[in-house]
Amino acid sequence: MQEISRIIQFDWDAGGRLKLDVETTKDDEDRYTIQAKVDIADYQFSMKNKKVLPVHQFRFNGKLVAPGHFPEAKAEAADLTFDLSSWAGELKGSLTGVYRDQGQVMAHYQLDSDVLMARVTELLHRFNALEQETSIGGDMKLRTSGYTEKDKLVVSTLDSRIKKFILYRQGKILQDSDFALFTTKPEPTPNVEEAVRPLEKADSKDAFFSRVGGIT
């Protein structure tokens, strides 16, 4: 990877021993299946001479099923599945039913991750995305799914649990041995037809109200 960076100048620099396997097939409906496997030993990454990721093992596996162009209709939608492991943790997920409708990308997504929050905090500090006075620790397992709708990203389900959670901010510490954040299902809509009993006929108004408006 260092040889590549010598040929093409970037603001970033990466090192490691790269092993890449790619396999492409085409079916009778002109849809392509691309399977890729990336394995980088002793991987490291820096940007503008500043180390971002220390030496570690990086792995990525992905599978894409799609036509030879970006899908413009639901009938030819593409599907992508992947999983990767890196210094900060593991992530796997999928994008299914991917196509473009009137300029908007439509898709369903699902993500499942297991990351070390202390290492994520280090990355955020290095990119100045989180102030240095704030640190987060713990082992987070996150599951989420949803879909895109016009210019919105809809979260249908979310289940995030952090073991040994700790938040340090400006000298104050918040700790929780089992921190959880998740969505709940909405209350079911009552079935009105089942809630109404059969009608009863009263001989007179007095007879009707003598039974408290027909309620017994």
Read off the pLDDT of residues 71-129 as tens digits, 9 standing for 90 and up. Answer: 999 999 999 999 999 999 999 999 999 999 888 899 999 999 999 999 999 999 988 88
In this prediction, residues 150-160 reach a mean pLDDT of 90
pLDDT score recorded for residue 31: 94
pTM, rounded to two decimals: 0.72
Backbone angles phi, psi at 24, to 5 degrees: -125, 130
pLDDT score recorded for residue 49: 77
Domain extent listing, the chain: 2-184
Are 166 and 136 in contact, with CB atoms under 8 Å apart? yes
| Mean pLDDT value across the chain | 85
The answer to whether residue 2 scores a pLDDT higher than 60 is no
pLDDT score recorded for residue 126: 87
Are 94 and 81 in contact, with CB atoms under 8 Å apart? yes
**Cα angle 32-38-43, degrees, rounded to a multiple of 5:** 155
pLDDT score recorded for residue 214: 47
**H helical segments located in the chain:** 2-7, 117-126, 192-195, 205-210
Beta-sheet strands, E only, within 117-203:
134-149, 152-169, 172-182
Read off the pLDDT of residues 21-38 as tens digits, 9 standing for 90 and up. Answer: 999 999 998 899 999 999
pLDDT band at 9, cuts 50/70/90? low
**Amino acid sitting at position 182:** F
Classified as helix, coil or strand, 195 is helix
pLDDT band at 155, cuts 50/70/90? very high
Q: What is the dihedral of CA 17, 115, 152, 130, to 10 degrees?
A: -90
Q: What is d(CA 60, CA 20) in angstroms, rounded to the nearest whole number?
A: 10
Are 214 and 196 in contact, with CB atoms under 8 Å apart? no
DSSP string, 94-137: EEEEEEEETTEEEEEEEEEEEEEHHHHHHHHHHTTSS-TTEEEE
